[in-house]
Amino acid sequence: MRPSPAVAVPLLFLATTGAMAQSGLQIDGLIDIGLYRDTHKTWQLGPIQRSNLAFSGTEDLGGGLAATFALNMRFESDTGQLEQAGKPFFHGESTVGLRGALGSVRLGRALDAMESQDWKFDAWGNFDRIASPAWDIWHYNYPTDPRGNADGTPEYGRLNNGVFYDSPSFNGFAVHLSTAANESVRGLPGGTVDSLVQPWGVSLNYDSERWAAMLAHERNSNGDTDSFAGLRGTLGELSVYGAWDRSKALASSSVAKVLTLSVQYVLGRVTLRGGWGRMDLDGVQAQRTIGTGVSYAFSKRTSVYADVAAKRLPGDDNRSMYGVGMAHAF
């Protein structure tokens, strides 16, 4: 049966636009769950890494230009609920943008210039709550968006109302920039846009098959600052990582200095990791961490793993964490 004119026109439009521009949609994510003992000697069942569901896509606009979008939500795999109360639904990212020969620009909510790149300098990718020395102590005094969550609490890592630029790679070098509008404080008690500092971040990165390096600096809307440097070397199946971070809270003048070192060795389906980290807060030892882990890949998507870590807190308070988990990427 032939469609009526009212239906035929939209169908013709869709057929024409489909011929003019190619588009693609990708759905992926990670489901991770494990059984572990935390530093309070309590057994937990839940993500040791982060579980997430992501939608992303591009549309070829012609002339080397493409439209992009990304939506990413994070959830608790043991309950199916959103990762934390007070977080937005698309906690991970919600952006739309354009990509071309001069790089890409995205608008919305996403990781800032620093934290979108720093994970490359930790053997766990800052993605493991037990063993990663970066998890607890990187960027300690630096909330990326001081009022960035749905309930007005600080957000560590992501900017709301953000503008993000990623340059093309030139002989391995790339620049990443981020800034944001200050509209998120409107309506808060005593909060005025004029009282805020313009947030910004910049990261200079170098990536090659054997080496990676990074220098970054940021300032948030409260005037807090964060500086980060990272280095990674790879020889065959062995990778060695180092990172330094200094974050300063403007209001309290508190300064956190962090140093982390980690290593990864791939032996067939088995990956071995080890790491060490220290943080000094205002010149006083605040935390020392030693972590180790092993993972076994059944396939490119499915793996099991075990982690152990020892943490020393102020007052020689020694605590341990350990656990086992399973992860499936899709």
CATH code: domain of residue 82:
2.40.160.10
* Cα separation, 309 vs 10, whole angstroms: 60
* Cα separation, 265 vs 324, whole angstroms: 19
Q: For residue range 11-44, what is the model confidence (pLDDT) as tens digits?
A: 333 333 443 456 789 999 999 999 999 999 999 9
In this predicted structure, the answer to whether residue 185 has a pLDDT above a threshold of 70 is no
pLDDT in the model for residue 135: 95
**Checking DSSP bridges between strand 200-207 and strand 270-281, what pairing results, if any?**
unpaired
- Spatial contact of 245 and 138, defined as CB atoms under 8 Å apart: yes
pLDDT in the model for residue 314: 85
Please state the separation of Cα 274 from the chain's center in Å.
Answer: 21
In a domain, 196, yes or no: yes
Tokens, residue 84? 């934390």
**Of 154, 157, 198, 207, nearest in space to 179 by CA:** 198
Average pLDDT for residues 114-122, to the nearest whole number?
98
In a domain, 246, yes or no: yes
Q: For residue range 309-323, what is the model confidence (pLDDT) as tens digits?
A: 999 998 878 999 999
- Domain range enclosing 89: 26-329
Return the SS3 of 15. helix
In this predicted structure, the answer to whether residue 158 has a pLDDT above a threshold of 90 is yes
* Cα separation, 231 vs 241, whole angstroms: 6
Q: For residue range 189-232, what is the model confidence (pLDDT) as tens digits?
A: 444 555 568 999 999 999 999 999 999 999 999 999 999 999 99
Tokens, residue 319? 């605590």
Q: Of residues 243 and 83, which shows the higher confidence score? A: 243
In a domain, 6, yes or no: no
Q: CB burial class (10 A; 0-12, 13-18, 19+) of residue 40?
A: exposed
* Cα separation, 22 vs 160, whole angstroms: 30
pLDDT in the model for residue 316: 78
| Number of domains observed in the structure of the chain | 1
**Of 220, 247, 217, nearest in space to 229 by CA:** 217
In this predicted structure, the answer to whether residue 5 has a pLDDT above a threshold of 70 is no
In a domain, 9, yes or no: no
In a domain, 191, yes or no: yes
**Of 254, 305, 262, 241, nearest in space to 282 by CA:** 254
For all residues of the chain together, what is the average pLDDT? 90
* Cα separation, 65 vs 209, whole angstroms: 28
Beta-bridged to residue 36, according to DSSP, are: 44, 323
In a domain, 17, yes or no: no
Phi (first) and psi of residue 150, to 5 degrees = -60, -30
What band does 300 get if pLDDT is binned at 50, 70 and 90? Answer: very high
Q: For residue range 219-267, what is the model confidence (pLDDT) as tens digits?
A: 999 999 999 999 999 999 999 999 999 999 999 999 999 999 999 999 9
Q: What is the DSSP letter of 39?
A: T
